[in-house]
Amino acid sequence: MSAAGPEVLVVAPIRPAQMEALGAAYTLHRLDLADAPEALLAEVGPRVAALVTTGSAGVPAGLLPSLPGLRLIATSSVGTDRIDLAACAERGIVVTNTPDVLTDDVADLALGLILATHRRMVAGDAWVRSGDWGREGPFPLTATLTGRRVGILGLGAIGMAVAERCQAFRMEIGYCSRAPKTVDFAYHAAPIALAGWADILVACLPGGAATRHVIDAGVLAALGPAGALINVARGSVVDETALIEALETGTIATAGLDVFASEPAPDPRLTALPNVTLYPHHASGTVATRDRMAELVVENLAAFFGTGAALTPVALPVSPA
């Protein structure tokens, strides 16, 4: 805890240099390090003006009532599905995120998962390390990417960046979003229609109640026995039970997943499958990107307390009159 500026509650820390910057400018209260969180909240909660968190930590259920003076939540993430935005809107709490900063890294990882699933890169690595190459001979043939149809579910900034990368591999692009966009890609009005068209379905849409299980058993069946699911969005957008069954039964061929319904301990039935490539919710996990995300958190706090206007506020739901 420092001794300057407005009081800020840290639910989850950002990068070390940016934590130092926050400590120099504000009075920090480290909920993430507290031995007795309830006692800390009872003592400082009424004085806290801002909250810093990350996408994976969000704002735990039941925390907001302990912070009656809270004016700002700054999350080091694009996703805000672990923050009760309706409650924030009701109380007039500004929420900021870190858009655009992580677009390229997430898109790179999506392409990496496409390559890994189709060229079986993890299995190939094991084939060499185990000595099977020498004992068993050549590795089994894998699937080409050239000419494949890639269906992007959610054509926002990340979805567009994925599309651009796939085009460089001479893949055909289709998409599904809330409305058609001015792009030269095939538009599909529903996820199941996109899945029926695609060889590879890439989830790039936000999490939350509106997109929960949008990729269900029907969508997976439409994707088909040669199809691949790539998820760099949120675990909640996929019905994971249906996905496990689809992978077990050959309803789809493979999946590449950066996100899971249960993190950091995914369903063991999923982690036991040989036809899925797993990554630990780390698509934005490069030094440069995480540093820039943390910098934007610091900049949002400085702008909010300096001018009253945050730099990257999230649109909050409007309560019906």
**pLDDT tens digits, one per residue of 218-268:** 999 999 999 999 999 999 999 999 999 999 999 999 999 999 999 999 999
Catalytic residue among 15, 234, 290, 292: 234
- Domains, the chain: 7-99+288-307 (3.40.50.720), 103-278 (3.40.50.720)
The yes-or-no answer on residue 43 being catalytic is no
**pLDDT tens digits, one per residue of 191-204:** 999 999 999 999 99
**pLDDT tens digits, one per residue of 76-127:** 999 898 999 999 999 999 999 999 999 999 999 999 999 999 999 999 999 9
**What is the model's pLDDT at position 1?**
46
The closest of 85, 9, 5, 20 to 52, measured between CA atoms, is 9
Catalytic residue among 148, 165, 281, 292: 281
Using the predicted structure, report yes or no on whether residue 3 has a pLDDT greater than 90.
Answer: no
The yes-or-no answer on residue 170 being catalytic is no
Report DSSP state, residue 64.
G
The yes-or-no answer on residue 281 being catalytic is yes
Alpha-carbon torsion, ordered 40, 45, 47, 49, to 10 deg: 120
Catalytic residue among 248, 263, 269, 282: 263
Portion of the chain with pLDDT greater than 70, in percent: 98
User: Whole-prediction pTM value?
Assistant: 0.90
Q: Specify the amino acid at residue 178.
A: R
**Residue 208 banded pLDDT, cuts 50, 70, 90:** confident
